Amino acid sequence: MKPGWSTNSIDGDPHAALPWLADLGFASLAITPDHQLLNPFATNYAEEVLTWQRSLESRAFACVVETGARHLLDPFQKHEPTLLSAASSDRARRGDFLRRAIDLAIALGASCVSLWSGVVRDAAVDAQLWERLCESLKPVVDYAEERRMPLGFEPEPGMFVDTLARFDELRDRLGYPPHFRLTIDTGHMECMGEWPLAATLRERVADLVNVHLDDMRPCIHEHLPLGGGILDFPPLFAALREGNYTGGIHTELPRQAHRWVTEASQTAAFLRRLGVSSVAAPRQPTL
């Protein structure tokens, strides 16, 4: 396993944070393209990609590409448009962005692109929503398959695909594409009642390409620092080890981004105590 951090949990310049994260023992980065970070629509995009290629390589950092920027595509409505949007043109815009994310992942040597379904915002019934989702997702899946880039689909509380069972149904409807895999968020599992968590995770390790790490309370979708909720982490890490999971475990605390320096230090210490990371004591960052 590669302990990792998420750029959406950094208030500041993620590029400047990279050396300190490496010193803390983090070895992977979950990169969310956004207005000020690897924006695929920006004029300086190619130059920024080259800078990140060099930096990740120099630090021997792994990475994944996340696609959950809140307002990159729509400045007024969070996460819109999605693969479920009512207008086909809006769904196509999301699909275009996801293909750009796949290209970015290839350029950075990322292990996967993480994505989700989206929130239902109209009165469409389930049959219509499944049709929208599958029709919108299929070209993206085909694009990923051609380029051999794994997709890590994340069940997200409040979205159309919110549980592992719904993920299973989606994968079945898509015909089990080889590169259509799974992103799991430890807190989401608790929030959605995927109990017992360790046993459930153990059954899913073979599908995993990405793990989001956070704590949570029952039925409350709020990402908490490790130890701030009710999750019992040792059995979860044991399940990942037993399944030979070697990918990133990326701490995701966007609501604590304003105090990310403290959270990153405490997370590194928490992981050290569990034997997930073996690093020296943290130093203060120069950012």
- Mean pLDDT throughout 261-282? 83
User: Within 13 Å, how many C-alpha atoms sit on residue 274's CB side?
Assistant: 20
Pick from 229, 225, 220: which is nearest to 257 by CA? 225
Q: Average pLDDT over the chain, rounded to whole?
A: 95
Residue entry with tokens 């019992």: 232
pLDDT at position 283: 54
pLDDT at 286 over 70: no
Per-residue pLDDT tens digits for 220-257 = 999 999 999 999 999 999 999 999 999 999 999 999 99
pLDDT at 282 over 80: no
pLDDT at position 285: 54
CB 216 within 8 A of CB 223: yes
pLDDT at 284 over 60: no
| DSSP, residue by residue, the chain | -EEEEEGGG-SS-HHHHHHHHHHHT--EEEE--BTTBS-TTSTTHHHHHHHHHHHHHHTT-EEEEE---SSSS-SSSTT-S-TT-SSHHHHHHHHHHHHHHHHHHHHHT-S-EEE------S---HHHHHHHHHHHHHHHHHHHHHHT--EEE---TTSSS-SHHHHHHHHHHHT--TTEEEEEEHHHHHHTT--SHHHHHHHHGGGEEEEEE-EEETTEEEEE-TTSSS--HHHHHHHHHHTT--SEEEE--GGGGGGHHHHHHHHHHHHHHTTS---PPPPPP--
- Mean pLDDT throughout 143-158? 98
- Mean pLDDT throughout 165-183? 98
pLDDT at position 217: 94
Q: Which two tokens stand for residue 219?
A: 């039925």
Distance separating alpha carbons of residues 247 and 270, to the nearest angstrom: 19
pLDDT at 150 over 90: yes
pLDDT at position 119: 98
Work out the end-to-end distance of the chain between its first and last CA atoms, rounded to an integer number of angstroms.
27
CB 193 within 8 A of CB 162: no
pLDDT at position 77: 97
Give the CATH H-level superfamily of domain 2-273: Divalent-metal-dependent TIM barrel enzymes (3.20.20.150)
Residue entry with tokens 């079945």: 172
pLDDT at position 199: 98
Distance separating alpha carbons of residues 114 and 101, to the nearest angstrom: 9
Per-residue pLDDT tens digits for 21-69 = 999 999 999 999 999 999 999 999 999 999 999 999 999 999 999 999 9
- Mean pLDDT throughout 136-162? 98
pLDDT at position 276: 87
Q: With cut-offs at 50, 70 and 90, classify the pLDDT of residue 198.
A: very high
